[in-house]
């Protein structure tokens, strides 16, 4: 299951991502926002990141204006690897090298077609493991030290 969320700056792109996930018959839980009215991105980033952090959801997609705020929020949560991507190459690397479990997009940075391509690329790419797993293991060690 994929959880998705946005603020007002990412609302339209979130809707486009949701449509793509429906087309691919992927179960989606949309945690808001539900319209273009101004809201605070941490409120929605928290909802998505918490579910990925606890394992209730396997993956998430977050969208705000630039993607920066959502990235900052999501990466506060243990076990979340949120990657802000601005093009398909970054989306592919986010999975292959970083095994990102949340993809973050900027609604004022990319258009709907780019977002669809990037989400599809991220979903279809495979984590390469090996030396990349060793690097993620170092992050897990840091998490255990910082959050005990």
**Whether residue 97 lies in the annotated active site:** yes
Taking the complex as a whole, the smallest distance from the CB of residue 104 to ligand RB5 amounts, in Å, to 10
| C-alpha–C-alpha distance, residues 106 and 113, integer Å | 13
12 or 143, CB closer to ligand RB5? Answer: 12
Q: Which of residues 53-82 bind ligand RB5 (CB under 6 A)?
A: 64-66, 68-69
Residue 106: both structure tokens together:
């900027």
Helix segments in the chain, DSSP class H: 11-23, 41-54, 68-74, 88-96, 112-124, 131-146
Residue with tokens 């900027």: 106
| C-alpha–C-alpha distance, residues 11 and 25, integer Å | 21
10 or 52, CB closer to ligand RB5? Answer: 10
Q: How many residues bind ligand RB5 (CB under 6 A)?
A: 8
Active site residues: 64, 97
Residues contributing to the site for ligand RB5 (CB under 6 A):
7, 9, 41, 64-66, 68-69
């Amino acid at each position: 299951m994929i959880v998705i969320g946005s603020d007002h700056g990412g609302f339209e792109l979130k809707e486009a991502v949701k449509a793509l996930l429906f087309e691919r018959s992927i179960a989606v839980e949309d945690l808001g926002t539900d319209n273009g009215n101004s809201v605070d991105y941490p409120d929605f980033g928290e909802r998505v990141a918490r579910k990925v952090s606890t394992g209730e959801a396997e993956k998430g997609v977050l969208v705000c204006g630039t993607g920066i705020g959502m990235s900052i929020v999501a990466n506060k949560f243990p076990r979340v690897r949120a990657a802000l991507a601005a093009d398909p190459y970054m989306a592919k690397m986010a999975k292959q090298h970083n095994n990102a479990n949340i993809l973050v997009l900027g609604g004022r940075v990319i258009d709907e077609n780019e977002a669809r391509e990037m989400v599809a690329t991220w979903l279809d790419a495979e984590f390469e493991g090996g030396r990349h797993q060793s690097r993620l293991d170092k992050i897990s060690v840091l998490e255990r030290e910082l959050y005990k």
